[in-house]
């Protein structure tokens, strides 16, 4: 199974359009940056599954020849899996409106409802080729398939994680709005644990991540009060549903206990000091055996 990290940043990317923090300023001056969180994977190198559809999806696809069209029209992208209904993980679905056939989009039940109502992506796309929503059952391994029902060689198990519904979901009912994914190559048994957002390293996270060949985990914030320290009037990391990397009970302390063969932090906020390769925080992460993702990082499992 091939895994490509298309985008390694959290919502807003790096530089974020309205942020003047040191990381964003450095990115502007150097002409470098990070796009918003999304991953592509394939069991056969020919048919690809997107994990989340970021607002930067068009540029991400353009940067990877594996995802380019074959012929006058068409795409090797066969399905999309959304872990949640946040705008930075679903807005890219709108960028697929030129598709010539309905795209299968797997998502938790609560997210399918949101995409049909309060964030009506499904209704908007119905005027085009549209998408086919497929609900992810909780705790059950299902084979992912393309629009014609052909299996893609990957099973997916979704487990609800400790986060809230998106901010725009003012009237959200009791449902699953955020999941961690365990994806397995049906031929080789190789496993990817994909948890781009998590409020805690709890039993749910452990059940998905334990012993995985590759764990891609929430690296949004280094500290709980990171945004406030940067001068932003915002909730803390934990209030937003993200476990911090550093400090007591942080992910840098807890993740090595899960026994994943390789752990990489994704969904990194523009204010996070681990983005600076010379920072002490980056040294702590790397000293613990954990890696920091870059756009375009590829792993073969």
- Please name the residues in contact with 253: beta carbons below 8 A apart, sequence gap of 6 or more: none
User: Which residue blocks in the chain are alpha helix, DSSP H?
Assistant: 22-30, 57-62, 87-90, 109-116, 121-125, 203-209, 226-229, 251-254, 280-287
pLDDT score for 7:
98
pTM (two decimals) = 0.97
Pick from 114, 200, 182, 180: nearest CA to 142: 182
pLDDT score for 174:
63
- Spans of the chain below 50 pLDDT: none
Q: Under DSSP, is residue 242 helix (H, G, I), strand (E, B) or coil?
A: coil
Contact at 8 Å (CB) between 206 and 255? no
Domains and CATH numbers, the chain: 2-295 (3.60.15.10)
pLDDT score for 186:
98
- Please name the residues in contact with 229: beta carbons below 8 A apart, sequence gap of 6 or more: 223
pLDDT score for 57:
98
Give the model confidence (pLDDT) of 136-148 as tens digits: 999 999 999 999 9
């Amino acid at each position: 199974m091939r895994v490509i990290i298309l985008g390694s940043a959290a919502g807003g990317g790096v530089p974020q359009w309205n942020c003047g923090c040191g990381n964003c300023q450095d990115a502007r001056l150097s002409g470098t940056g990070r796009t918003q969180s999304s991953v592509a994977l394939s069991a056969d190198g020919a048919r690809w599954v997107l994990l989340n559809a970021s607002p930067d999806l068009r540029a991400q696809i353009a940067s990877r020849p594996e995802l380019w069209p074959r012929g006058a029209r068409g795409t090797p992208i066969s399905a999309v899996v959304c872990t949640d209904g946040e705008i930075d993980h679903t807005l890219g679905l709108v960028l697929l409106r030129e598709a010539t056939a309905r795209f299968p989009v797997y998502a938790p039940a609560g997210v399918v409802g949101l995409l049909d109502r309060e964030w009506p992506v499904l209704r908007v796309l119905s005027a085009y080729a549209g998408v086919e929503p497929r609900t992810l059952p909780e705790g059950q391994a299902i084979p992912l398939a393309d629009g014609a029902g052909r299996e893609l060689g990957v099973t997916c198990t979704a487990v609800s994680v400790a986060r809230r519904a998106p901010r725009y979901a003012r009237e959200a009912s009791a449902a699953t709005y955020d999941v961690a994914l365990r994806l397995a190559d049906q031929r080789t048994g190789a496993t990817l644990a994909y948890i781009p957002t998590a409020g805690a390293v709890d039993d749910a996270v452990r059940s998905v991540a334990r012993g995985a060949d590759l764990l891609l985990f929430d690296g949004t914030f280094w500290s709980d009060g990171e945004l406030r320290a940067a001068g932003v009037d915002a909730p803390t990391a934990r209030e937003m549903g993200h476990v911090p990397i550093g400090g007591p009970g942080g992910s840098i302390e807890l993740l090595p206990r899960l026994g994943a063969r390789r752990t990489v932090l994704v969904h990194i906020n523009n204010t996070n000091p681990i983005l600076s390769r010379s920072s002490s925080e980056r040294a702590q992460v790397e000293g613990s055996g954990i890696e920091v993702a870059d756009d375009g990082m590829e792993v073969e499992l």
